[in-house]
Homo-oligomer: A and B are copies of this chain.
Amino acid sequence: MARRMKDIQPFHVMAILARARELEASGRSVIHMEIGEPDFVTPAPILKAGQQAMTQGLTHYTPATGLPELREAIAGFYQDKYGQSISSKRIIVTPGASGALLLTLGVLINPGDQVLMADPGYPCNRNFVRFMEGSAVGIPVDGATQYQLNKELIEENWTDSTVAVMLASPSNPTGTLVSGESLKEIAAFVKSKNGYLIVDEIYHGLIYDEEYNTALAVSDDVFVINSFSKYFSMTGWRLGWLVAPDAYINGLDKLAQNLFLAAPTTAQHAALAAFNEDTKAILDKRRDEFKQRRDFLLPALRELGFKISGTPQGAFYLYADCSAFTQDSYQFAIQLLEDEGVAITPGIDFGQNKANTHLRFAYTTSLENLREGVKRIRAYLA
């Protein structure tokens, strides 16, 4: 196999999930707090639009950059939600945020180029960089910077080989944000180095307490990755988008033609209903439910002895220090699943920085299940 395959790790959570399914198949009850997707089904108005597209026989390819009317709808979303005027020509519809990451890194990264990112962080990011024969540089972060990079960390780690910085706000696995102030400083620094700034905003919409804005408000030079998966509850549809600087659109289009031809057609037609008032009402209710879950789970885990820094502001994850209980979080996760039927994700899926003493808890299951989960964890720790 190609050399890159040795450097690309499988997700350990997949083993946890597979074992959880086995236990369930044998009749055991499992509380799923490992899964990185909303438990909610896609909202009815989106489903209906997808079904109508099928009835109308809309089953052929769309342009590689996506349906023009969907690109317009996404532009409208930036206007309505963030007050940002973004030309639809700068928006490329992709097969999931995965497709947007592949395009972005494909267009920007040469072999040997370094890309800075927070550790812990979304594991695919470093693997995408490796896939392009680049070098992902994980910078250890902790609660002191809300688990995010800042200008100082980036400056310290920037080398002659560094070409780009990847941020995620909110972050997976920590749920924390990059502040607008920090983003401005980072963008200015990266620009001063003629580097690229890539910002993952796929959990936007799932932010619970504060006002927030898109990185596009700070700079037109940024590459913003987004997705219909999380806030819009459309994981299985494989639909995301990318907002890129004008100068890169032709290159991105050319790469999209070659790498995936186009995003799924039915999904694109369905997503036209994602910005309806009806849909928004459903989604905002779901966001409120996620907030309730966070507001239950955060103090409950702390009370059990897990340490969680600050109040994670978004996504549906809590990243918890479990050093009071174990120095081997993977083993802890396996044992907790075997003994009590609670599935969680070990820190090693997110990097190397204190990964063995951290766990990710996803609140992608009902309050009732979360209560039961906490009860079982308490029993396990007793």
Q: Report the minimum CB–CB distance from A351 to chain B (whole Å).
A: 15
Which residues of B are found within 8 Å of A123, using beta-carbon distances? 258
Chain A 114-138 interface 0/1 with B at a Cβ cutoff of 8 Å (1 = within) = 0000000001100110011100000
Contacts of A82 in B (CB 8 A): none
Interface check A367, CB cutoff 8 A: no
Contact check, A260 vs B5: say whether CB atoms are below 8 A apart.
no
Interface residues of A in 50-70 (CB under 8 A from B): 50-51, 54-55, 57-62
Decide if A95 is an interface residue (CB 8 Å cutoff): yes
- Copies of this chain assembled into the complex: 2
Are A236 and B11 in contact, CB atoms less than 8 angstroms apart? no
Instruction: Quote the shortest CB–CB distance from A49 to chain B (angstroms).
Output: 10
Nearest neighbor of A269 in chain B, beta-carbon distance: B236
Query: In the docked arrangement, what's the CA distance between A14 and B254, Å?
Result: 10
CB distance from A333 to the nearest CB of B (A): 18
Q: Please pick, from B60, B95, B127, B128, the residue contacting A95 in the complex, using a CB distance under 8 A.
A: B95
Does the CB pair A59–B237 fall under 8 Å?
yes
A259 within 8 A of B: yes
A346 proximal to B (CB < 8 A): no
Contact in complex: A237, B266 (CB < 8 Å): yes
Residues from chain B with Cβ under 8 Å of A102 in the complex? 259
Q: Are A61 and B47 in contact (CB under 8 A)?
A: no
List A residues 249-289 near B (Cβ within 8 Å).
250-251, 253-255, 257-267
Q: How far is the CB of A108 from chain B (nearest CB, A)?
A: 6
Contact B110 A2 (CB under 8 A): yes
Near B by CB (< 8 A), chain A positions 19-62 give 37, 41-42, 47, 50-51, 54-55, 57-62
Q: A59-B236, A95-B95, A236-B265 in contact; A258/B124 too (CB < 8 A)? A: yes
23 residue pairs from A and B, CB less than 8 Å apart: A1-B108, A2-B106, A2-B110, A2-B132, A3-B110, A10-B257, A11-B257, A37-B60, A41-B57, A42-B59, A47-B54, A59-B233, A59-B234, A61-B235, A95-B264, A99-B260, A106-B131, A111-B111, A128-B259, A236-B262, A237-B264, A237-B265, A264-B267
